[in-house]
């Protein structure tokens, strides 16, 4: 959907393709070791997102990122970001949250945000299994 949020002047995404490698398949079923270092070593994209596993009604995703994502929001679901390596920035309407390794942050549902990584960053995301990574 294209448009702007009533609380934002940022353009929301349309159904176009973004230059992000987003893999929504579940890479590791239950009872398997989740090998994050092997996945990180194999990444060649500047913005990579892979669903690692499903836990109840949520998924855990790995992000290996450099650059910036577009402004977006999720109307019905929250997102949790946890930094493994590098600096990860979350731009909100009124501020930027800078996360360092071993720090996390929850973006509440309905909040317009954009994520950025000035240099390569590795993060984990926990979010509802139905969330569309590019925004609602």
Q: How far apart are CA 91 and CA 70, in angstroms?
A: 10
Give the model confidence (pLDDT) of 17-70 as tens digits.
Answer: 557 899 999 999 999 999 999 999 999 999 999 999 999 999 999 999 999 999
Give the N- to C-terminal CA distance of the chain in Å, as an integer: 7
78 found inside a domain: yes
- Whether the pLDDT of residue 10 is over 80: the answer is no
* Pair type for strands 47-55 and 21-23: parallel
Residue 104 CA, chain-centre distance (Å), reads: 12
Which residue range is the domain that position 35 belongs to?
A: 21-128
**Which CATH number characterizes residue 96's domain?**
2.60.120.10
64 found inside a domain: yes
32 found inside a domain: yes
27 found inside a domain: yes
Predicted local distance difference test score (pLDDT) of residue 57: 94
**Average pLDDT for 96-115:** 97
41 found inside a domain: yes
48 found inside a domain: yes
Q: How many domains does the chain have?
A: 1
13 found inside a domain: no
Q: How confident is the model at residue 5 (pLDDT cuts 50, 70, 90)?
A: very low
| Residues contacting 33, CB < 8 A, separation 6+ | none
Percent with pLDDT over 90 in the chain: 76
């Amino acid at each position: 959907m294209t448009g702007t949020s009533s609380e934002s002047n940022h353009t929301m995404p349309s159904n176009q393709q973004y230059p992000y490698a987003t893999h929504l398949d579940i890479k590791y079923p239950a009872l398997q070791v989740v090998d994050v270092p092997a996945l990180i070593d194999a990444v060649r994209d500047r913005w990579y997102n892979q669903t690692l596993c499903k836990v109840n009604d949520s998924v855990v995703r790995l992000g290996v990122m450099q650059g910036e994502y577009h402004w977006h929001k999720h109307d019905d679901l929250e997102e949790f970001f946890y930094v493994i390596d590098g600096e990860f920035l979350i731009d909100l309407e009124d501020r930027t949250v800078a996360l360092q390794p071993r720090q996390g942050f929850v973006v509440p549902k309905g909040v317009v945000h954009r994520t950025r990584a000035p240099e390569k960053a590795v993060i984990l995301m926990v979010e509802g299994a139905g969330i569309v990574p590019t925004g609602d």
